[in-house]
Amino acid sequence: MPLSGLKVIELGSLIAGPFASRLLAEFGAEVIKVEAPDGGDPLRRWRKLYQGTSLWWYVQGRNKRSLTLNLKSPTAIDLLKRLLSQADVLVENFRPGVLERLGLAPSVLQELNPRLIILRLSGFGQTGPAAQQPGFGAVGESLGGLRYVTGFGDRPPVRTGISIGDSIAALFGVIGTLMALRHRDQAGGRGQVVDVALYEAVFAMMESLVPEFDVFGYVRERSGHIMPGITPSSTHTCRDGQAIQIAANGDAIFRRLATLMQRQDWLQEPAYADNDGRDARRDEIYAAIDAWVATQDLAALLASLQAHDIPASRIYSVADMFQDPQFLFRDMLLQAHLPDGRPLTTPGIVPKLSASPGQQRWLGPALGEHNDAILSELGLDAAAIAALRRDRVI
């Protein structure tokens, strides 16, 4: 796999850091997840539990090895330093300053291992007046602009149904790590710090928000299920009560939709020939599409739209995904087994690489499952490992 031979140490919990290292592990990196012996990552107990363990954990922890270390112990810190001296990447999402208080500041670690890449994920980044404030993904989504534009204008902002801010930060973290590895291997062999702030990761996704405010003083507001400035692209309700997304905002696509709707007047109206003209009259267009969709059932309407090459889709629940042939064909639903042998379906690997695809090799491990193996690889014998266990270092 493309990251085979890469050694990653994860000092993360919950979402952003562990998701970043999960992505690296899915493409072949050896990821050692370091957790506290007294319970480990809280995500092990989040959401739906099966026999006491989160089903989410089995996905978020897949392909990782679990090592428990009590980082309040100087002996544990020494063992961690030995691991980091052999590693390519450290992933951590502590609040800024925690790594330093552990005696593991980047300057210390890069003296120990000049090739080490240190990925640091936090709410506000490692510097600046807000750096020490706690900041989960929800805060990053709020400050980064996403929450402000999400929902309907006559109601308070809403959130997406997942921790999207953490996941976006993790993706930027992986991108930054791979770029830092490329730089290390092409420009002298030295590592560096990759500093990802959750609010900045979200902010980076906000499209034209900044220049439009700067030039026009335009503040984008919540717009419900339409996309302001891009028309038509919205959700509509069919006769049978089912929702459908229709995205006919391309000029040629809009003409095909007008033909299907038998709206010759739209085809003859110069204002509808491009997006700017359509968006200026979007209320009229959406009202007409709403009325047209409301006369048809979802299945027949989808077939008709697809026959006319107009992008449209149902709004899938997870139950729909389990039945969809596209998901199945592209291995987006993988099969595994829980520790008691029960079959478990897990999400597939993204992206798809033609020559060196990612894999799900095993599910998230039990807490400390790999203690003996990892410590043996560091040169400790059985007696030394037993002493660490007795002294509650592991």
Residue entry with tokens 């992206």: 351
* Spatial contact of 137 and 15, defined as CB atoms under 8 Å apart: yes
203 CB-near residues (< 8 Å, 6+ apart): 143, 144, 145
- Give 194's strand partners: 119
Q: What angle do CA 145, 147, 153 make, to 5 degrees?
A: 110
State the pairing for strand pair 117-122/193-197: parallel
- 95: DSSP letter: P
* Spatial contact of 34 and 92, defined as CB atoms under 8 Å apart: no
Judged on CB neighbours under 10 Å (0-12, 13-18, 19+), 189 is: exposed
Judged on CB neighbours under 10 Å (0-12, 13-18, 19+), 2 is: middle
Judged on CB neighbours under 10 Å (0-12, 13-18, 19+), 183 is: middle
Q: Which residues carry out catalysis?
A: 166
Cα-Cα-Cα-Cα torsion 162, 167, 169, 170, nearest 10 degrees, comes to 160
